[in-house]
Structure 1
Amino acid sequence: MKSGADTLNSPLNITENPPVVLTADLRKVYRTGFWLNQKIVSLKGCSLTVHQGETFGLLGPNGAGKTTLLKLLLGIIRPTSGKGLLLGQPLGDRHAKQRIGYLPENPYLYDYLTGWEFLQLAAGLFQIPQSVQRQRIPQLLELVGLSVADARKKQMRRYSKGMLQRVGMAQALINDPDLIFLDEPMSGLDPVGRYQMREIILSLKAAGKTIFFNSHVLSEVEQICDRIAILSQGKIICSGSLYELLGTGNTYYVKGQGGDGEILKKWIPSLVFNHDGSWQGTLQEDYYDFLASLRLMGGQIISMNLSRHSLEDFFIQQLQKSKSVN
């Protein structure tokens, strides 16, 4: 498999299978100090690829460089070195920007506008005809769970955090984008708000949209993302699908009762018997055959769960490994 840099330098590959987001050795250095003679390296040679229709999660601790990378991709700032393509166009290209949506972590929404007026303003920036606006705005309000009455009558200074996130998501979708950037979309939301935001993202995923987002809520990332990358101290330290990174999921933690202990140990070498007569252990064989054998023994399953790293455990391990290497 070719690296991001190889793909960027190969017009043939870009034409045959164009990625939606492609970067090769992106680097960003900020100058600080009174004479601008001090350097802070925020991003160090970042290379990644995101394909059409993927939901891609960028993870990392505070200060890792996630927001810097997002600003580079959006063309808000320019890289110190390296290359990148967005929807097949160089970073910052105007035509590419027409096809993207963006929800910042802390968006500034005009307090004295209603949600409806704000969406009209956003639509006007994209030169969307009013006839289209009249259809699209109610559709988006329904998608994000805002009532038309609230959007028309309430000024946004009276919105809750959840309502602001919803109207922010609606403005990110006002131009029917092909690629959507979401910066901490779950930030500050209660469990109900996180659930609703997750459902919106899953509906966009089902519609074939490409979604690139940062999040600290790793349980949500694990449920939503196809692929992830972990950024630490300005470097991508690992990337891949959850299947590749967390394991195949062919190992199960089983708890049951009854059956023949000697036969059970052949299936579950780590078998442990409890005082209440139940048993437990890790099963690494084909669970269909195991269940059939257990049924013949007269035993039964109390619980059986996939045994693999959680994304949170994997994330912490990768950060610790990265620090020990550095």
Structure 2
Amino acid sequence: MDSSAHLQTESTTAKPMPVVQTWNLGKIYRTGFWLNQKIQSLKSCSLSVYEGETFGLLGPNGAGKTTLLKTLLGIVRPTTGRAVLLDRPIGDRCVKQRIGYLPENAYYYDYLTGIEFLQFAAGIFQIPASVQKKRIPELLDLVGLDRKTARKKQLRQYSKGMLQRIGMAQALINDPELVFLDEPMSGLDPMGRYQVREIILSLKKQGKTIFFNSHVLSDVEQICDRIAILARGELICMGSLDEILGRADIYQVVVKGGDAEELKQWIDELIWEDSCWHGHLKGDPQEFLVAIDKMNAQLISMNLARASLEEFFIRQLRERGITSSQ
């Protein structure tokens, strides 16, 4: 084999494998007394989620996020299109052994303790008692639940944050390769959101693939490798944050004074406006500050040029005439 073929083989081998794929997935619900009214919750949705990545699905309320997630899990049947999870068709019973799921509004058996609930979930997966004995304490530590509390306190006495954490432990009881989380930060206070975010980052370090729905955009921006935005059942964009928002290390600078030719060595798209030079920094910020001082110029401002995910999200919705939750 020649060297170019060898490099091509290595490149192909290193590429992550898609663990979630959909092709033109659609869902129509029938409503009304005679079931003669149609509501299209999902329209021709095609996406891929790769092994080991954290993928965030964004959208306003009613956009179809939960419908897409439930369709992937086999809870809801698609009207059109197809999808595969871990190289198997959606709904495959063998695949369900390899995935974890935390619903947005999970139902809990109120009179079970946290440990009893996890033992119940482990029993569904036929996890041996000897494995449970080690696995359950590890999960309680991971999600930040006190072992003594989990052993003695019934779930009806848990706070919203505690229920979210025990729900997260339940989603991980079978050590899944792929984890689905539906609005995992919903209804949590800042500390609760921080703790769930840390759990997701911990799972990411373990190499697990995470697919979650959310409208808490600041959290998504911190933890996701790639995102997609869903609006009125249709995917309107998908990609990494750098692809969607632009690079995170580009600065917009405003300089007063200095020589234009010297500034062009540091600033792209240099323009003169309001008695100042404006443009994008193309060098190291610290070195630029030293150069500015030597030019006897004054730096008026230096701000990241990239829009926030929230700004981008709102702009995308407004461009499509969506001004409120559906």
Deviation, 1:305, is 4.2
Mapped contact 2:171–2:179 kept (Cα < 8 A): yes
- After TM superposition, the score normalised by the length of structure 2 is 0.85
Mapped contact 2:257–2:298 kept (Cα < 8 A): no
Deviation, 1:299, is 8.0
Mapped contact 1:253–1:280 kept (Cα < 8 A): no
**Larger deviation, residues 26-35 vs 66-75:** 26-35
CA deviation string 1:60-91 (max 9, x = no partner): 11111111101100000111111100111001
1:20 lines up with 2:19 in the alignment = yes
1:310 lines up with 2:308 in the alignment = yes
**One of 279, 284, 288 as aligned partner of 1:287:** 284
**One of 305, 316, 319 as aligned partner of 2:317:** 319
Check 1:154–1:241 CA distance in 2 against 1; reply closer, same or farther (3 A cut): same
Structure 2 partner of 1:86:
85
Aligned length: 304
Deviation, 1:301, is 7.7
Flag structure 1 segments of 5+ consecutive residues without an equivalent.
Answer: 1-12
Structure 1 partner of 2:186:
187
Separation in structure 1 between the aligned mates of residue 166 and residue 277 of structure 2, nearest angstrom:
48
The residue type paired with residue 286 of structure 1 is G
Q: SS state of the match for residue 211, structure 1?
A: strand
Flag structure 2 segments of 5+ consecutive residues without an equivalent.
Answer: 1-11
Q: SS state of the match for residue 75, structure 2?
A: coil
Say what the alpha-carbon RMSD is for the aligned residues: 2.6
Percent of aligned positions that are identical: 66
CA deviation string 1:100-141 (max 9, x = no partner): 000111111111111010000000000000000010100000
CA deviation string 1:9-37 (max 9, x = no partner): xxxx9xx9641000001111111111111
Mapped contact 1:57–1:213 kept (Cα < 8 A): yes
Separation in structure 2 between the aligned mates of residue 198 and residue 48 of structure 1, nearest angstrom:
24
Deviation, 1:303, is 7.8
Check 1:208–1:304 CA distance in 2 against 1; reply closer, same or farther (3 A cut): farther
**Larger deviation, residues 47-56 vs 291-300:** 291-300
Structure 1 partner of 2:9:
none
Mapped contact 1:251–1:282 kept (Cα < 8 A): no
Deviation, 1:295, is 5.1
CA deviation string 1:40-74 (max 9, x = no partner): 11111111000000100001111111111011000
Check 1:217–1:246 CA distance in 2 against 1; reply closer, same or farther (3 A cut): same
The residue type paired with residue 18 of structure 2 is P
Structure 2 partner of 1:116:
115
